[in-house]
Chain A
């Protein structure tokens, strides 16, 4: 399977603990996005990378959250001192910037997500 993968798929942690999620994008995609989704809502943008550069962060991304993409391939999202309000599905997506073959190439390909439960 050459789609976007995320690990782990589920994580249960106690309040105050740190957690780290990993995302492996589609290999030729230079753009990578993190979103958070709660029940009944659409994905909320958290941050965006182009290659290894983090170009935009949402105000939702407090100082307890940090994301990296050290070599422009996989990315990690770390949440420090987790709170119950952090419980959500964390989605990763990737895209290929620019046009390919004349067709639009702006669509994002999403992974299955990591469901975080903070108890």
Chain B
């Protein structure tokens, strides 16, 4: 059974940093493109970042480029999102999601339960 479990969310002040983690199990993690998707309170879904299985390709939304860094540790079946220079508009539930196309960028076939990041003074 595919499982994704995010952790690391919390309350942080504007300008601060936070590191999110996603523990994966039940599939060949190293072969899968992984993604972060966020949802601000009461709003829709926003893609944040993607990383292919071999770390060869990394992509970011313009809204987070230069501030967020996606990474993965295939030996630990884990995905990360380092978030720096946080802004109030980064407040959202952050979901870890697997690409449904395996090694390629595509839809999101499995999602974690999400972790809430609140940026507020």
Indicate, yes or no, whether A interacts with B. Answer: no
